[in-house]
Amino acid sequence: MTDLGTRPGRALRRAAPALLGYAAVRALGLLTLALWSAARDKSAYTLLTARWDALWYTRVAELGYGYEVRLPNGDVHSNLAFFPLLPWLERLLSALTPLSYADAGFVVSLLASLAAAWGVFAVTDHVYGVRAGVCAVLLWAVLPVGIVQSMAYSESLFTALAAWSLYAVLTGRWVTAGLLASLAGLTRPVGLAVVAAVWATGAAAFLRERRDRHETTTTAGDQAGRETTTVVGAREQSEAATAACEQEPGGETATVAPTTAARQQDPSKAATVACERDRSRPEGPSSGRNRSAADAGGARAVGHAPETGTASLSGRAPDAEGARTPSHSPGVGKSGGTRVRRALGMALAPLGTAAYVLWVGHRTGKGPLGYLDVQAGWRNGFDGGYAFARFVGDKFTSFPSALAGAGLIVGVALIIWLYVICVRQGQPLPLSVYAGVVTALALCASSYFGSKPRLLMPAFPLLLPLALALARARTRRSAAVVAAVAVASALYGAFWLNGSGPP
């Protein structure tokens, strides 16, 4: 299992096959793009660093916020729609090196894509093992829109922060998870998905601890009641047996001297056994002394009854099976620090998104909802998927476009099916929540519909069922499948960027 907390070098060596495979797939994509672009007299590097959103990020890094474009239809495209972490890193790297802002954006994206691949591997390896981790990374690399991972866009940076935040949640590093979630919230609006994963998992942990404490307290009370009843019953039985034993035929008094082993088994039985044994002894002057010793032994037998392997009446000692007592239950005692760190991580998680959204509202003078107005200028919003459904429906107005509409329906159905499989396979809660929110925001937003495949790219947990299937297949077959899909992805990426490209 990947463990960066104690052995980062070993963790990197464990992830090396996945990272090398990822680098090979991305290198194939870049080479294909370079050859395709050269055949069309275009610059592949310009397509990667100076087109579409990459230009907006570069302008933010160079000029700051405040730039906007007013379109003839009245729409206002403001650079306030772009979250600040990628431009900040571009500006920082450009200040420290001779690189331009565009070059810095490209370097940041390349490094972030490797960090994202490592994060995807770490999460999958932690949940399903190293083989599934390698397959998950390769599947993420060969996505049809995988070329975006090598562009000066924020998707790779966001996926890296999200994946490592999820890994921190899975491994109980709550403060780290909160910090990374906050940084993800400074990268893209979908950072809310990471916040939701941290909060949902933290809340579930608090509820589980509360339930466990209640169950442990109830169990300890029941156990104490049973022990009290057992001790009282044993004392009564012992006294009754002793009284019966003392009255010998002919009025003689017997000596009661239970053995230690018998006392430890059952006080009443101990008295009876001692009685039978003493009846066979000759009478002598020592009978009174033996009776006194027997009375002391009987008292000791009763006094030590709770020490027969069960917890004491206080509920603080472990039972014979080593079960944890209330003082060592989850969320009690040693786990107090864990609860504090979890609460701190949950408090840190939304700070990035909240800080930027509130700053935009202050900047625009429209309050906390000012960022929504900025997005409305780009015709972005959340309408529950109504606009997307109309877009798909319009495709069926003519025959050629009807094929595209059918393809969109199949694609959406595939995404929903993958998510259902993730849930049915028992995927950990943070992964399910994260993937669900990313998918909902992507499919139910009214943004440019050609962007949806790119917006879905960070939802890597959706790929885990496919990764498991590949991991179970023979290595030769899995390699052949990945190689074929990698070639198709490289060709599609080159065609896409030289055509309409990502918006």
Please give the residue that has the higher pLDDT: either 430 or 286: 430
Helices (H), 52-100: 53-63, 85-96
Burial (Cβ within 10 Å: 0-12, 13-18, ≥19) of residue 400: exposed
Query: Which residue pairs, CB below 8 angstroms and at least 24 apart, start in 362-369?
Result: 363/65, 363/80, 364/80
Burial (Cβ within 10 Å: 0-12, 13-18, ≥19) of residue 364: middle
Check pLDDT > 60 for residue 428: yes
**pLDDT confidence of residue 207:** 92
Average pLDDT, stretch 264-280? 46
Cα–Cα distance between 212 and 218 in angstroms, integer? 10
Check pLDDT > 60 for residue 122: yes
Cα–Cα distance between 339 and 342 in angstroms, integer? 5
Average pLDDT, stretch 326-353? 74
Tokens for 257? 């001297």
Which one, of 215, 163, 169, lies nearest residue 191 by Cα? 163
Please give the residue that has the higher pLDDT: either 461 or 367: 461
**pLDDT confidence of residue 2:** 63
Check pLDDT > 70 for residue 328: no
Most confident of 266-280, 375-389, 463-477: 463-477
In single-letter form, the type of residue at position 119 comes to: G
Q: What are phi and psi of 22, to 5 degrees?
A: -65, -45
Cα–Cα distance between 268 and 218 in angstroms, integer? 30
Check pLDDT > 80 for residue 12: yes
Following DSSP, what letter does each residue of 224-264 receive, concatenated? HHHHHHHHHHHHHHHHHHHHHHHS-TTSPPPP----HHHHH
Query: In this structure, are residues 99 and 113 in contact, taking their beta carbons and an 8 Å threshold?
Result: no
**pLDDT confidence of residue 258:** 43
Please give the residue that has the higher pLDDT: either 44 or 337: 44
Q: What are phi and psi of 473, to 5 degrees?
A: -80, 165
Check pLDDT > 90 for residue 222: no
Average pLDDT, stretch 327-356? 77
Cα–Cα distance between 412 and 385 in angstroms, integer? 11
Angle at 315 between CA 309 and CA 317, to 5 degrees: 50
Q: Report CA 414 to chain centroid distance, whole Å.
A: 23
Tokens for 287? 């009978």
Cα–Cα distance between 341 and 267 in angstroms, integer? 50
pLDDT more than 70, % of the chain: 75
Please give the residue that has the higher pLDDT: either 132 or 318: 132
Instruction: Please list, in sequence order, all residues whose beta carbon lies within 8 angstroms of the beta carbon of residue 465, skipping any fewer than 6 positions away.
Output: 418, 421, 422, 425
166: left (phi > 0), else alpha (psi -120 to 50), else beta? Answer: alpha
Please give the residue that has the higher pLDDT: either 112 or 229: 112
Cα–Cα distance between 117 and 130 in angstroms, integer? 13
Query: Which residue pairs, CB below 8 angstroms and at least 24 apart, start in 279-282?
Result: 279/248, 279/254, 281/255
Instruction: Look at residue 280 and give its three-state secondary structure.
Output: coil
Average pLDDT, stretch 232-248? 55
**pLDDT confidence of residue 390:** 85
**pLDDT confidence of residue 400:** 82
Cα–Cα distance between 357 and 463 in angstroms, integer? 31
Query: In this structure, are residues 407 and 383 in contact, taking their beta carbons and an 8 Å threshold?
Result: no
Cα–Cα distance between 62 and 80 in angstroms, integer? 14
Which one, of 219, 222, 235, 225, lies nearest residue 304 by Cα? 235
Check pLDDT > 50 for residue 380: yes
pLDDT digits (tens, 9 = 90+) for 150-172: 999 999 999 999 999 999 999 99
**Residue entry with tokens 């990764």:** 467
Which one, of 405, 452, 415, lies nearest residue 435 by Cα? 415
Query: In this structure, are residues 325 and 311 in contact, taking their beta carbons and an 8 Å threshold?
Result: yes
Average pLDDT, stretch 66-71? 90
Give the CA distances from residue 224 to residues 229, 325, 496, in Å, rounded to whole numbers and listed in that order. 9, 12, 71
Element (H, E) at 404: helix 399-424
Please give the residue that has the higher pLDDT: either 403 or 282: 403
Check pLDDT > 80 for residue 503: no
Cα–Cα distance between 190 and 442 in angstroms, integer? 9
Cα–Cα distance between 441 and 193 in angstroms, integer? 9
Q: How many C-beta atoms lie closer than 10 Å to residue 326's C-beta?
A: 18
Tokens for 375? 């997005």
Which one, of 431, 489, 491, lies nearest residue 462 by Cα? 431
